[in-house]
Amino acid sequence: MKNYNITTLNDFITLKQKDFPYAKGELSSLLTHIGTAAKMVNKKINKAGLVDIIGNSGSVNIQGESQQKLDVYADEVFINALLTSGQCCGVATEENQSEIVFTEPFAQKGKYIVCTDPLDGSSNIDYNVSVGSIFSIYRRITPRGEKVRNEDFLQEGSKQVAAGYIIYGSSTMLVYTTGNGVNGFTLDPSIGEFCLSHPEIKTPEDGRIYSVNEGNWVHFPPGIKKYVKYCQEKDAGTLRPYTSRYIGSLVSDFHRNLLKGGIFLYPENETAPKGKLRIVYECNPIAFISEQSGGAASNGCERILSITPSSLHQRSPFYAGSKNMVKKIEEFLSL
């Protein structure tokens, strides 16, 4: 007989909650709400190519509804989902200059704060290329019942309670960790559920893919130029030359490398002296997932998760993926 058993995201979250005897279901509820927000954003992204029919952003569609830009829509959906969960007392998003402090009494009691890039890969949004959402959950520092403060959002990455991403690709997937391994769920559109498809993801310690925007070559630091040359050299022992793959959507580039083995690089350069990616919204959650899958993430000389950011939108050079490849980059940068 065929096995029709599926584990939905919600089943899985509930099952995992039983591993913690004193868990009250608060984190589970928060994750469930994030899953729902992801489904809403997914639905909108699937319609993005129909702009000529339903209207472009800023225009009014035939039903008289005004069309929003997808990133603005995703931002609102995530903020609303987090607020209504009742478990989140504030949120910082890449779209907003400052943190959003929830003042509703039911939310102020929430135990967690969330940092999110609700729609990452902005340069790809309008061209039917994969984009993603990224989230990161921390316990609040300020006492429950009080308003959260900026410092709640500026915690060291190692303090994350959970982190994950959604990739809106040829299929839609949600990948997350609560610090006990990484699991991936694929959205089955026919039943509208994320179903466990990639249990206990382990990334290879060595890979053959390097992902970097080589158009920035002239601006690369010397160590990165040498590393990229190293990737392109022939060496049977280390299976070089490696192959180059770069979409320009962090979630997609990282996700492919997570499954196949590889390295993602976004170094500092002359035009972006601290790199492009933001510690709070992009580097920390991806670093947590990378480490939990057996990989690593570094700013070139320090573990990403050991950095305490001093501002919400602080940027950092970012190298994440297969452990030995990250180590190699650190070696090249230290020369």
- In DSSP terms, which residues pair with 195 in a beta bridge? 8, 186
Among 80, 123, 171, 308, which residue sits at the site for ligand AHM (rule: CB under 6 A)? 123
- Interacting residues with ligand AHM between 270 and 309 (CB under 6 A): 276
1-9, 98-106, 135-143, 242-250 -> range binding ligand AHM (CB under 6 A): 242-250
Q: Is 17 near ligand AHM (CB under 6 A)?
A: no
Q: Is 120 near ligand AHM (CB under 6 A)?
A: yes
Which DSSP letter does residue 275 get? Answer: B
- Interacting residues with Mg ion between 96 and 125 (CB under 5 A): 117, 120
Among 41, 113, 250, 258, which residue sits at the site for ligand AHM (rule: CB under 6 A)? 250
Q: Is 314 near ligand AHM (CB under 6 A)?
A: no
Residue 121 binding: pick among Mg ion, ligand AHM, none (C-beta 5-8 Å cut-off by kind): ligand AHM
3-class state of residue 79 by DSSP: helix
- Interacting residues with ligand AHM between 193 and 232 (CB under 6 A): 213
Q: Is 169 near ligand AHM (CB under 6 A)?
A: no
> CB–CB of 210/244 below 8 Å?
yes
* Region of residue 199 (phi > 0: left; psi between -120 and 50: alpha; otherwise: beta): beta
β-pairing, 88-93 vs 112-120, is parallel
Residue 39 binding: pick among ligand AHM, Mg ion, none (C-beta 5-8 Å cut-off by kind): none
Residue 150 binding: pick among Mg ion, ligand AHM, none (C-beta 5-8 Å cut-off by kind): none
Q: Which is nearer to ligand AHM, 248 or 294 (CB)?
A: 248
> CB–CB of 163/289 below 8 Å?
yes
- Interacting residues with ligand AHM between 68 and 107 (CB under 6 A): 94
Q: Please count the other Cβ atoms lying within 10 Å of the Cβ belonging to residue 208.
A: 20
Q: Shortest gap between Cβ of 293 and ligand AHM (angstroms)?
A: 18
> Which residue blocks in the chain are alpha helix, DSSP H?
9-17, 26-46, 51-54, 70-85, 105-108, 222-232, 250-260, 284-292, 323-334
Q: Shortest gap between Cβ of 248 and ligand AHM (angstroms)?
A: 4
Q: Is 262 near ligand AHM (CB under 6 A)?
A: no
Among 90, 121, 184, 285, which residue sits at the site for ligand AHM (rule: CB under 6 A)? 121
User: Which of 180, 188, 151 is CA-nearest to residue 163?
Assistant: 180
Residue nearest Mg ion by beta-carbon distance: 120
User: Which of 129, 93, 86, 131 is CA-nearest to residue 109?
Assistant: 86
> CB–CB of 281/94 below 8 Å?
yes
Burial 89-119 (b: 16+ CB within 10 A, else e): bbbbbbbeeebbbbeeeebbebbbbbbbbbb
Where do contacts with Mg ion occur on this chain (CB under 5 A)? 117, 120
Residues within the interface to ligand AHM (CB under 6 A): 94, 117, 120-123, 213, 248-250, 276
